[in-house]
Amino acid sequence: MNFHPLPGPAEAGALGTEKLRDAFLVGGLFRLGEVTFRYTGLDRMIAGAALPGPAPLRLPDCAETGTAFFLERRELGILNLGAPGVVEVGAARHELGTLDCLYVGRGERDVAFANGAAGAAQFYLVSAPAHAAHPTAVARRAALAGDPIGSAATANRRRITKCIHPGGIASCQLVMGFTELEAGSVWNTMPPHTHGRRSEIYLYFDLGEQRVVHLMGEPAATRHLIVGDREAVLSPPWSIHCGAGTGSYRFVWAMAGENQEFSDMDPAPLAILR
């Protein structure tokens, strides 16, 4: 597992394109037959992926956590971006369809990932430190209505689906879900905001060959990243996080920090953007 340190706002403003991408863009997580992790400087969140092949994959122990096993003092959110698959937690077997979400609580030692009959499951993983144990639970996409937001007139009509949150699956601090843009809309999270009390990770997916122009940085000193399919952007509390796509796309959002209030945002009005 690689540790991913982050520069502060002043340093980020002076970075060139490649160094900015190295600092805030995470790619290469989805590797067939591997469990990959990136330990970030964002509230100690770990982002990763598990793509099982013919044989199941086990959640590895990582020395970087300083614990006897990965979830000894952590919780884990899993969202399946691929074909139906299976996650085993201890003796329990959980079948996850496309965009089903599984929460695994602190203290679970044995977690394994496998393909279903159709093969090609793709499990996206986000983990955060946990101070208590919450039960393993599943959020089925079919049972989640999602919250429509935005307007076609401003090209940001989208549906926000919350999976791990206070009104759904209980957790210590991890909040996780995904957003889907309607046909003809390209902007996400516009107008933008920051989270002074939380960090956030966006994983863009289902882009195909399209790209997202992701805006980041302080509101009065914005930067941009060109993001491809299954690449993640790291958003520290001081950075805005929004983007526009060259075609249709979805993204997974995951947050951790001082609270779990989805609406706890610091608006960045369009007039102050630079």
Same domain, 63 and 181: no
The boundaries of the domain holding residue 127 are: 2-6+29-141
- Residue 191 is predicted with a pLDDT of 87
Please report whether residue 68 resides in a domain: yes
Residues 6+ apart with CB under 8 A from 117: 84
Question: Are residues 238 and 163 part of one domain?
Answer: yes
Question: CA 266: distance to chain centroid?
Answer: 20
Same domain, 169 and 122: no
Of 141, 162, 196, the residue that ends a domain is: 141
Centroid of chain to Cα 80: 12
* Tens digits of residue pLDDT in 204-228: 999 999 999 999 999 999 999 999 9
Same-domain status, 186 and 261? yes
C-alpha–C-alpha distance, residues 140 and 206, integer Å = 19
First-to-last C-alpha distance (Å) of the chain: 36
pLDDT tens, position by position, 45-81: 999 999 999 999 999 998 889 999 999 999 999 999 9
Is the CB of residue 255 less than 8 Å from the CB of residue 77? no
pLDDT score recorded for residue 75:
98
Asked if 177 and 63 sit in the same domain, the reply is: no
Domain boundary among 114, 141, 168: 141
Q: Tens of pLDDT along the chain (274 residues)?
A: 777 778 999 999 999 999 999 999 999 999 999 999 999 999 999 999 999 999 999 999 988 899 999 999 999 999 999 999 999 999 999 999 999 999 999 999 999 999 998 889 999 999 999 999 999 999 999 999 889 999 999 999 999 999 999 999 999 999 999 999 999 999 998 889 999 899 999 999 999 999 999 999 999 999 999 999 999 999 999 999 999 999 989 999 999 998 998 888 899 999 999 9
CATH number for the domain including 185?
Answer: 2.60.120.10
Judge whether 15 lies within some domain: no
| pLDDT the model gives residue 262 | 83
Residues 43 and 134 in one domain: yes
16 within some domain: no
Q: Which among 99, 123, 141 is the end of a domain?
A: 141
Environment class of 132 (CB within 10 Å of its CB; exposed 0-12, middle 13-18, buried 19+) = exposed
Query: Looking up tokens 């601090």, which residue turns up?
Result: 173
